[in-house]
Amino acid sequence: MKVWFGEQATGGGWKIAGKTPEELAAFAGCAESSESIHSLDFEKIAIEAGLCSSPAEYVRLVHDTAILVARSRIQALLSGKDADIVQSIKALDTIHDAYNEVSERLTEWYGIHYPQHRARPQEIITAILNFAPGEVPPGAPLTAIDIAAMQGFARAAQVLSDERKALEQYIMACMDDVAPNLSDVLGPLLGARLIARAGGLDRLAKLPAGSLQVMGAGEALFKHIREGTPSPKHGFIYRHPLISGSPKRLRGKMSRMIAGRATIAARVDAYSGERMDLGSDVRARATRLRGGQRRPKA
């Protein structure tokens, strides 16, 4: 039997794993978690085994060892590359929201002077940054001060747009390194989003396919529980082109199939790291679903 400070010897005595918090912290992860352990008087055993000489010293040793164990586990949790994926996808959402707000305000501002112009945000940003000197708009007049103010705002929007593209490239590179199979099945950005929502690749790999399928559909799921509405068939994975581009009658089946393959991909990435061609398998299965073909018997 093992506990946080040592293990029970064959003759009934106790073998201490160490004397310092560092030695004990290295051993503490091996401690068993069984009901029989909870009935033991750890303090008494530790003093009798010579680990410490008093209850006060025992409490101090427990405290220092627990701090070291907690720090070690936190460091292990945050040292993985998937921690960068979690933060970068959240940063991407922040930039995306900021860009949408800035570009929307810029579109309204531009519309004062060019009311007939209907263009995409990036086209409007480009047009503002390339204002010709002395240009006379069909709407409200433009002064040099107006142009300078609009161009300053347009430059801010352009910086956000460029940073968003750079962050997307970074996420793609991280996914190719950390979760290539999941990236192959879902695409790097969607795969990164699921990793972020789960709190890491290891946690995502432990989820069943059904949980992965509805991840991100919390509001619809709660409404189903409270009001008895139809259960959600998909969450974030609806963004997958094979799902969003399928007829409505096939989206549920397509979601289940892709969620199942994504679960396998996440587990392979987390536990073996072997690169598999799961993306081709997903596309082949999607073709069969759309064509109504049954999978050939082995």
**Rounded to an integer, what is the distance from CA 88 to the centroid of its chain?**
9
Q: Sign (positive/negative) of CA torsion 217, 220, 222, 225?
A: negative
- Return the top range by mean pLDDT from 61-65, 67-71, 98-102, 242-246: 98-102
The torsion region of residue 134 among left (phi > 0), alpha (psi -120 to 50) and beta comes to left
Structurally, at CATH architecture level, domain 179-291 sits in Orthogonal Bundle (1.10)
With contact defined as beta carbons under 8 Å apart, do 182 and 273 qualify? no
How many Cβ atoms from other residues are within 10 Å of residue 8's Cβ? 15
The tokens for 232 are: 């959600």
Task: Give me the phi and psi of 206, to 5 degrees please.
Answer: -90, -10
Q: What is the DSSP-derived secondary structure letter of residue 8?
A: E
What does the pLDDT look like over 127-185, one tens digit per residue? 999 988 787 888 899 899 999 999 999 999 999 999 999 999 999 999 999 999 999 99
Judge if 82-174 and 179-291 fold alike in CATH terms.
no
Sign, CA torsion 200/202/203/205: positive
Q: The pTM is what?
A: 0.68
**Cα 247–chain centre separation:** 28
**C-alpha span between 55 and 77 (Å, rounded):** 33
What residues contact 141, with CB distance under 8 A and at least 6 apart? 113
For 88-131, how does the pLDDT look when each residue is reduced to its tens digit (9 = 90+)? 999 999 999 999 999 999 999 999 999 887 788 999 999 999 98
Q: Where are the domains of the chain?
A: 2-79, 82-174, 179-291
pLDDT-above-70 percentage for the chain: 85
Round to whole Å and give the CA distance between 179 and 273.
Answer: 8
Identify how many contiguous H helices and E strands the chain contains and give both numbers: 15, 3
Q: Which residues pair with 47 in a beta bridge?
A: none
| CA atoms within a 13 Å half-sphere pointing along the CA-CB vector of 207 | 24
For 15, phi then psi, to 5°, come to -100, 115
**Which pair of structure tokens corresponds to residue 33?**
């978690």
> Residue 227 — very low, low, confident or very high, per pLDDT cuts 50/70/90?
low
In the prediction, which pLDDT does 298 show? 41
Q: What is the third-level CATH fold of 82-174?
A: Helix Hairpins (1.10.287)
Q: Label residues 63-93 b or e (16+ Cβ within 10 Å = b).
A: eebeebbeeeeeeeeeeeebbbbbebbeebe
CA distance 212 to 252: 13
